[in-house]
Amino acid sequence: MPTTPPLRVAMIGTAFMGRAHSQAWRVAPRMFALPREVEMAVIVGRHPERTEAAARQMGWQEASTDWRAVVERPDIDIVDICTPGDSHEEIALAALAAGKHVLCEKPLANTVAEAERMAAAAREAAARGVVSMCGFSYRRTPAVALMQQIVAEGVLGDIRHVRAQYLQDWISDPEAPLTWRLDKEKAGSGALGDIGAHIIDSAQWVTDSLITAVSAQLRTFVTSRPVLGDSVGLGGRGAAGGERGPVTVDDAAAFTASFDNGALGVFEATRMALGRRNANRIEVNGSTGSIAFDFERMNELEYYDGRDQAGRQGFRRIQVTEPEHPYLEAWWPAGHGLGYEHAFVHEAVDLVRAIDSGEGIHPTFDDAAQVQRVLAAVEASAADESRLTAVEESK
């Protein structure tokens, strides 16, 4: 009796996201009943010794330093891109042209032009049965997925306000070392693209509406940092003195936004919010209710029904751990929460299922290109200081 061959994955990138995605590929077929087997075929990095060590530690069959050769291999089905943004376009276009399914980390690219070329290639590849997805992992946090379902049901009425924050503090120390995430050539932008992209995507997805205009400001509070050679990590204190290099991206972004459904949005992304390690928050206010999520309490939602009788109104907590909630049928008994890494597992699960079914999957590269257009609009708005209105001094 014929069997469907396994899907063999090649992952490009060995650092933070490489570890998260490796965990996902290991766990997904063990916790979920997938329609296809998955094999972690090869991991690709820049340094031979480090890549070999990563393969052993994270469970990959092989290690390579030549992504181009790996992408062309006939035994590779999925290319998972976990590299800095300056290489996303080249790798993705090569993979799609080779007929590989593609998972690409966010933001999709460093520029709108790159993102739109990637989206066009993905649409063309889709006609040949090739699946592509951008890795906005927070969509696959069960509470955020439930939030989207609740808003889609219309129980909030007309959406009026969206407020979203992503607060971190990992570079608040001015002696934290210079990394690729602080280099515009590699990262595209700073807090705006790295974490602001997440809340832009979440806000548009949850409300099923697009951002059409923005008014923004960006700030870089620490303009130079210690250079520690080939440093790629997150945070950490650099050596006192010595060579310093320029920070060429923003440390913080703040902007208001208009949505095509008439809603008003307020967004904030920063790596300088002392005490906030990973505070990803979104609240939606409608004409008949409100709903809110905070990743620091990632297994919960707050829901307010404005139609409750007077004297009984108030935010209620929904503990998102029931088997009826998104993705949770495969996990633990009710009340046993999930963590950060599970969103990546769900990402892998959805991608495998989409490849097997031949159906589309979101976020598409087109979805991600729309986020890129918002990022570009924020940067353009922030650069136009003439739009700022000074507060008059008292006379």
pLDDT higher than 90, residue 46: yes
What is 103-161 written as a DSSP string? EEESSS-SSHHHHHHHHHHHHHHHTTT--EEEE-GGGGSHHHHHHHHHHHTTTT-SEEE
How high is the pLDDT of residue 234?
41
Q: Do domains 7-138 and 142-297+299-338+374-380 have the same CATH topology?
A: no
% of the chain exceeding 90 in pLDDT? 92
Helix (H, G, I), strand (E, B) or coil at 348: helix
How high is the pLDDT of residue 229?
61
Q: Taking all residues of the chain, what is their mean pLDDT, rounded to a whole number? A: 95
Tokens of 159: 């959406």
How high is the pLDDT of residue 385?
81
Structural fold of domain 142-297+299-338+374-380: Dihydrodipicolinate Reductase; domain 2 (3.30.360)
pLDDT digits 0-9 by tens, 233-260: 444 444 445 799 999 999 999 999 999 9
Q: What dotted CATH number matches 7-138?
A: 3.40.50.720
Arithmetic mean of pLDDT, 39-61: 98
Range in 159-168, 235-244, 348-357 with the lowest mean pLDDT: 235-244
How high is the pLDDT of residue 230?
52
How high is the pLDDT of residue 242?
77
How high is the pLDDT of residue 2?
45
**307-343 burial, b if ≥16 CB within 10 A, otherwise e?**
eeeeeeeeeeebebbeeebbbbeebeeeeebbeeebb
Arithmetic mean of pLDDT, 87-98: 98
Arithmetic mean of pLDDT, 110-135: 98
pLDDT higher than 80, residue 325: yes
Domain ranges in the chain are 7-138, 142-297+299-338+374-380
Q: Which amino acid is at 385?
A: E
Q: How far are the Cα atoms of 10, 60, 68, 152 from residue 41, in angstroms, in the given order?
A: 6, 6, 15, 39
How high is the pLDDT of residue 237?
43
How high is the pLDDT of residue 241?
52
Arithmetic mean of pLDDT, 163-188: 95
pLDDT higher than 60, residue 284: yes
Arithmetic mean of pLDDT, 17-45: 98
pLDDT higher than 60, residue 277: yes
State the Cα–Cα distance between residues 272 and 270, nearest whole angstrom: 5
pLDDT digits 0-9 by tens, 264-276: 999 999 999 999 9
How high is the pLDDT of residue 239?
47
Burial label for 107, CB within 10 Å (0-12, 13-18, 19+), is buried
pLDDT higher than 60, residue 153: yes
What is the pLDDT confidence band of residue 9, given thresholds at 50, 70 and 90?
very high
